[in-house]
Amino acid sequence: MSGTGTGGAANAAVRRKIMGFIVSQAIHAVCELGVPDRLADGPAAVPELAAGTGADAGALHRFLRVLAAEGLFTEDPAGTFALTAEGRLLCAAEPGSLRHFAELMSGEAYVAWSRAAHSLRTGEAAFAAVYGSPFFDWLAEHPEEAARFDRAQAGLVEMRLLPLLERDWDGAGTVVDVGGGNGVLMSALLAARPDLKGIVFDLPHVVDGARRTLAEAGLAGRTRCAGGDFFAGVPAGGRVYVLAQILHDWADGEAVAILRRCHEAMPPDGALLLLEQVVPEDGEPHPAKLLDLHMLVLLGGRERTAAQWRDLLARGGFEQVSATEGPRSTLIEARPLPGVTPAS
């Protein structure tokens, strides 16, 4: 019988899955000390690398041994380490860097995962059970962690943007980025399209960051930043409303409420753009299926299938017009349906 003995392949495979967090957190640890960034300048021996990053040399060698076996680094016989093509993606300056994503999967998010069974039992966020308040409320009380979260989101925008930039923006006028974080998406969009104006809307403590980003990009004259709560209402005055990685943070009831607030604010010929993951309806592994669980554990939210997105949009008063797949998320475009009542 295969896989029943303690030395069996099945046993080893399951042990490897159980210990998966060790690889994930080891990646985060070497990123935190800037090890991949140091190696971006060229291969280095462990003592030199340890001295340059503030690591303990013995521990660094053991971390790198594990991550080299995962294909992120190479070690030559003289003990010199170098980045592989995969490892390069952990460097902060690399296009499409996953450095910030590693950061997002650590810290309080990782602590929340230690109570994932709470989410399994209740269908609700383990984060709130561990930390005593929902994630975004908690961030509002923890400026350092909030700044790190905004930085990490901004770092992910680059790849997210691609299908958005390729869209036809002629005549779009003013774009409202609802939950626009620290304004990086708006800044890139307006830099690419000098004919557009923008409004970035987010929680008051977050839009301060957007104001800085847009001013530094020389875009203050074409933008406005507004602080508020998207469950209470979103700014009017736009023709195109963007929700980038917003609805996946929320369960259906709240997601529908956000859509309704956008519907109320936008003109009848306006457009709604979602940048979200689409969960494939097959039995194959897919990053969106893992992120779906992460949304549940952290926020009580969810990733959705193509049919679930269409259904959610309809409940929010919209009809899906198109879906364009990008490298990290799908651009779903919708138009407001007439005759939608402002309820909920």
Ligand X SMILES: C[S@@+](CC[C@H](N)C(=O)[O-])C[C@H]1O[C@@H](n2cnc3c(N)ncnc32)[C@H](O)[C@@H]1O
Kindly determine how many residues on this chain lie close enough to bind ligand X according to the rule CB under 6 A.
17
If one asks whether residue 55 binds ligand X (CB under 6 A), the answer comes out as no
- In this chain, which stretch among 9-17, 80-88, 217-225, 241-249 interacts with ligand X, using CB under 6 A? 241-249
DSSP conformation class of 219? -
If one asks whether residue 301 binds ligand X (CB under 6 A), the answer comes out as no
If one asks whether residue 245 binds ligand X (CB under 6 A), the answer comes out as yes
Structure token pair of residue 30:
């070497």
Q: Which of 10, 14, 141, 231 binds ligand X (CB under 6 A)?
A: 231
**Paired strand residues for 61:** none
Query: Of 100, 248, 263, 294, which is the active-site residue?
Result: 248
**Start-to-end C-alpha separation, the chain:** 57
| Residues of the chain by 3-state class (helix, strand, coil), percent to 5 | 50, 15, 35
Say whether 248 is catalytic: yes
- CB nearer to ligand X: pick between 37 and 276: 276
If one asks whether residue 244 binds ligand X (CB under 6 A), the answer comes out as yes
- CB nearer to ligand X: pick between 204 and 280: 204
- CB nearer to ligand X: pick between 46 and 242: 242
Task: Please report which residue ranges of 171-251 form alpha helices under DSSP H.
Answer: 184-192, 204-216
- CB nearer to ligand X: pick between 67 and 109: 109
If one asks whether residue 249 binds ligand X (CB under 6 A), the answer comes out as yes
Q: Which of 53, 97, 153, 223 binds ligand X (CB under 6 A)?
A: 153
Question: H or E stretch including 227?
Answer: strand 223-227
If one asks whether residue 181 binds ligand X (CB under 6 A), the answer comes out as yes
DSSP conformation class of 5? S
Q: Which of 136, 151, 158, 254 binds ligand X (CB under 6 A)?
A: 136
Instruction: Report the distance separating Cα 229 and Cα 134, nearest Å.
Output: 15
Q: How far is the CB of 249 from ligand X (least distance, A)?
A: 6
Q: How far is the CB of 280 from ligand X (least distance, A)?
A: 21
Which distant-in-sequence residues (6+ apart) come within 8 Å of 175 by Cβ? 186, 189, 196, 197, 198, 199, 238, 239, 240, 241, 242
> Following DSSP, what letter does each residue of 17-46 receive, concatenated?
HHTHHHHHHHHHHHHHTTHHHHHTT--EEH
Q: What angle do CA 260, 233, 230 make, to 5 degrees?
A: 85
If one asks whether residue 161 binds ligand X (CB under 6 A), the answer comes out as no
If one asks whether residue 229 binds ligand X (CB under 6 A), the answer comes out as yes
**CB 131, CB 118: distance < 8 Å:** no
Q: Which of 37, 103, 108, 202 binds ligand X (CB under 6 A)?
A: 202
Binding positions for ligand X, rule: CB under 6 A = 136, 153, 157, 179-181, 185, 202-203, 206, 229-231, 244-246, 249
Catalytic residue numbers?
248
